[in-house]
Structure 1
Amino acid sequence: MVDDSNWLQPVLGSYQAEAVAQSLARAQEFDLIPVEEKERRPSSWTIRAIIRPEEPLYALVVHHTITSMCKGEVACWTYISQGMERVGQKEVVFTVSRNTESERKKDFPNDPLRWIEIVYSMAKGGCCVGEFEHTDFQVAEFLGRSDVNWIVYCPACPIPNVDDFLLPQDYLQAIPLLVAEAEVAEKYGLMRTLGHLGASERWFPWPPWFDRYRKPCITAAQMQGSIKEEMEFQHIKGLSCIKKGSNIILRVPKKSEPLLVEALLRHSPDQAFPLNTVHHINSDSGLLWDNRDPQPRGYSAGNSNECMNLNYFAFCPGHDVDELVLIEDGYMSDETWLKIRSCIKNMRPCHISLPELQFLLRLEKPSVPGYQN
């Protein structure tokens, strides 16, 4: 058994890290109980793992299939945490593929259960994780691989053939990234990696399952020469950008407003202001870029591209002509920067029309009581 306490130390206090390390050593000691027939579909296989009976912290393990356009029927196990909310953490869902030639339904790996306990321990210690955040770590082996480097927490997405009533109302989907993919995410933005991961399975925005035998979907060498090497991009939590018809819309959730203003005030008005953006829930397609093809490529859910997700937006002042230019997988703009800057600083909506495209700064207000962006 690997001693994993060292990579937990930066995230947890020493006492908590020791407790989690002890829980990892108990990986084979989870108590399992069958789930009643009325709680699952007849074609699935479901059990409940007791992770911490005293808390209590449980996880459902559901065996099911997902139909991939690239691989056909993929047998999977989906792990659904139960008990995170009581420590202020969204529930976590983790889906991994099964090797049908060598693994039985009941041979599910324990690593996702271990990870659920780690997330629970972090949250109990005051360190919760949210959408598009990640935990990086180094262990000798995770899910049978030595090169899993990040766990990214993505927004909830549909999981085929898992009944909705088994899933929490809101949850985070855990997506493991390999070392090469994490390097791209760190240097060029998370959405570039997730986009290539989605395109590799022809699944928008990203496949919900982890293929334990796959190769890296993208490498840093394939990113060399990117415009992102020339500018220091800001990451504002929750910021998204979409192209809808002739509109380029930069969306700012309420909770992101002070972070955006703070970042803006650190920048000189005569310097470029580039922003990394994340997936917007309403998008149905996205853009991809790597240096093997100078032109950006699209990928989508089916044939629709009415609402295209963009991976960045950069304001570039100092030019004589106002225009919106598609560069790689995002847009760059030099249009009327002082006006836009004033709108961002004072958090006012903005709408600027150009001959072919329009730029909109849209502030997204909470729509229901208790809503959190």
Structure 2
Amino acid sequence: MPHRDWRDLDESDVRVRPGKGSRPRSKRRPQHADAVQALVISVNRGRWNCAIDGDPNRVVVAMRARELGRTPVVVGDTVRLVGDTSGAPGTLARIVGVEPRSSVLRRTADDTDPYERVVVAGAEQLLIVTALADPPPRTGFIDRCLVACYAGGLEPVLCLTKADLAAPDELLSRYADLAVPSIITRYDQPVDELVELLTGRVSALVGHSGVGKSTLVNRIVPDADLRTGEVSAVGKGRHVSVTAIALPLPGGGWVIDTPGVRSFGLAHVTPSDIVSAFPEFAEPAEECPSGCGHLGGQDDPDCTLERFLDADAATVGRLRSLRRLLASRMGTAQE
């Protein structure tokens, strides 16, 4: 065989022996065409309780498939399930996908905490439950919840309890310019108006401990305590008020009860997130200098929104309300 110079060789003349484990991995994921949709109604120690097709009578336990990695799955998420979805005792399905979220309620522990906590996903509206007395209203908390709603795509509703102890007029006047819907309740009157607002929709409730949130839930979901026990018993352990839980309404729809919170941090929210919820100010705000917080005055003297202070009373009121929410996000509003 004649000698060949190595410079005349190419890759086709050399036999390469593949090493162990050199087979390329396919990046294609299984399509799971047989997956069924379900609503996540509670989370308990690495297990997700899910209602198949949103049916409260078809609750199954599921684990997160390995292929999802650390993809967060929270109450209110719509997920895709495979495996045993019969719901029989001892069975376990797998969550193989999470549908895009229509809304998300986030908070941080405080305004310096970079870690976001997704409280609820997929809710259409958030009821901010506040007592009119005992304990007195905390407007700073309400403002922060409103900010979280505007940033997360939820419709806010003020739900004022204990109207038998104090009148709601002063508190409602504070939010009149924002046109936030409100529901007034008291212990000695039916909650028909509230039930009508919730029926057929996915709603979340948030509030401080002691404002009567649990009492409301028990009134609108007559067997709330029983259902809470049943849902929790599907997984391991019992439900305690440290995580959210979705409860079905008698007339259709779901109400998501969240645990009482001490603080509502907004470290993840930017001024633009809030301004975008005010159409009349969103476009002019784009002309503001870089880094403008839109607070006006000494804080942002060159803010473009200053020119609206000469507008009609309704617009001025909306601007002041917007700036109050921005101040709340900055931690400068009274809690």
TM-score range for the pair, normalised by the shorter chain length: under 0.3
Give the TM-score normalised by the residue count of structure 2: 0.25
Larger Rg: 2
Give the TM-score normalised by the residue count of structure 1: 0.24
More relative contact order, 1 or 2 (CA 8 Å, 6+ apart): 2
